[in-house]
């Protein structure tokens, strides 16, 4: 089964902020980060259940999962998402060292 990927508005904003931040420091690094994210989301299309539960999962009635992906320099980022039938909805993208998400950062659906 193939899942569709939906990048929700807040996650889209996270993507743009992170990419812009990285681009200002290193266009090559920003492009490498984008490619790492795209490769990771390809995994979601085929097997999102292979991703573990997010630490924030305990606060929700639905399963909140996380996809971890790394840049070539080993920095770990994560995409926080939910699976709805054949759709994966990515709520947020988080950078290294970022605190766990608060309840208001995940919309109930």
b/e sequence 86-108, b meaning 16+ C-beta within 10 Å: eebbbbbbbeeeeeebeeeebee
Tell me if 14 is assigned to some domain: yes
Q: Is residue 46 part of a domain?
A: yes
d(CA 109, CA 106): 9
Tens of pLDDT, residue by residue over 48-84, are 999 999 999 988 888 999 999 988 878 899 999 999 9
Residue 106, in any domain of the structure: no
**Domain assignment of residue 39, yes or no:** yes
pTM, two decimals, is 0.89
Give CA torsion, residues 68, 89, 64, 62, to 10 deg: -170
Is 74 within a domain?
yes
In a domain, 107, yes or no: no
Q: Which pLDDT band holds residue 108 (cuts at 50, 70, 90)?
A: low
| Domain carrying residue 17 | 4-98
In a domain, residue 103? The reply is no
Give me the chain's average pLDDT, please: 90
CATH number of domain containing 92: 3.30.2310.20
The predicted model gives 12-40 an average pLDDT of 94
pLDDT at 51: 95
The domain tally of the chain equals 1
């Amino acid at each position: 089964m193939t899942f569709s990927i939906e990048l929700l508005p807040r996650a889209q904003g996270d993507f743009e902020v992170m990419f812009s931040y990285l681009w200002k420091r290193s266009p090559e690094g920003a492009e490498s980060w984008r490619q790492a994210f795209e490769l990771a989301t390809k995994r979601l299309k085929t097997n999102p259940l292979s991703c573990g539960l997010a630490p924030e999962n305990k606060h929700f009635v639905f399963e909140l999962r996380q996809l971890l992906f790394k840049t070539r320099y080993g920095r770990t980022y994560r995409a926080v998402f939910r699976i709805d039938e054949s759709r994966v909805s990515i709520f947020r993208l988080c950078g290294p060292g970022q605190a766990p998400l608060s309840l208001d950062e995940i919309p109930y659906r």
